[in-house]
Amino acid sequence: MSNAFAAAALCLDGVTRTYKEGEGQLEVFRGVNLVLAPGEIVALVGPSGAGKSSLLHMAGLLEAPTSGDIIIGGAVVSSLSDLERTRIRRDTIGFVYQAHYLLPEFTALENIVIPQLIAGKPRKAAETEALRLLTLMGLQDRKTHRPSQLSGGEQQRVAIARALANKPRILLAYEPTGNLDPRTASGVFDALEAIVRGEGVAALVATHNLQLAARMDRALILHEGRLIDGGKLGVKPA
């Protein structure tokens, strides 16, 4: 294994994915390569239907590649058992989606506490960590509010805090600001960037928003089943 792979938080090495389609096969990914470093925020861009969500599912061990390796923390994990992949997802990966999926009957604080309890953390320690994350997100005064009492931007910041509650090495986000107006989206990304940089998390963010992508370290363009390094995007503000 190369030194680059060993030092990276997440690597995809020659990953392919094919699906059965009638009598034949549909090839979605053809030799995808990716190296994501700790503390790095990378945009994943491409047209609708290009496979951004499928790529995040593979990177997050929700879906197995047809061939190639997924490497997390220097270890090949794509060939592990379902139980082992589930453990790695729980301990290593945080997910943020376009819809926040907060539990409506629980407060902001409780929504962040629950995944920690599931992972086996004592309640007091879980509440302390949840409050720390809410404070970093600027939401310490909203800790007792339920999702219906929060704005869209506040709900999404709680969702980001929840994804980071178990101190993952990797954050995978799909259109995390897609339901928000430009000003609110910018504020949510500010919060995401601050906490990801501060915690040293590696983040891969799928987005159609090129202004948002231009704020990230670099962009990867998904085109015809391959990832193209787009470098640092130069997109003027709208």
Residue 236 is predicted with a pLDDT of: 58
- The answer to whether 196 touches 171, Cβ cutoff 8 Å, is yes
| pLDDT given at position 235 | 60
Query: Is residue 238 in a domain?
Result: no
In this predicted structure, what is the pLDDT of residue 205? 95
CB 230 within 8 A of CB 46: no
Give the pLDDT of residue 4.
Answer: 59
pLDDT score of 68 = 93
Within 10 A of 163 (CB to CB), how many other CB atoms are there? 25
**What's the structural domain count of the chain?**
1
Range of the domain at 28: 3-231
Q: What is the pLDDT of residue 3?
A: 58
Residue 237 lies in a domain: no
pLDDT at 188: 84
pTM of the model: 0.89
Amino acid 231: pLDDT = 84
Tell me the one-letter amino acid at 16: T
For the chain, which residues score pLDDT lower than 70? 1-6, 235-238
Give the domain CATH number at 142. 3.40.50.300
Q: What is the pLDDT of residue 49?
A: 81
Residue 81 lies in a domain: yes
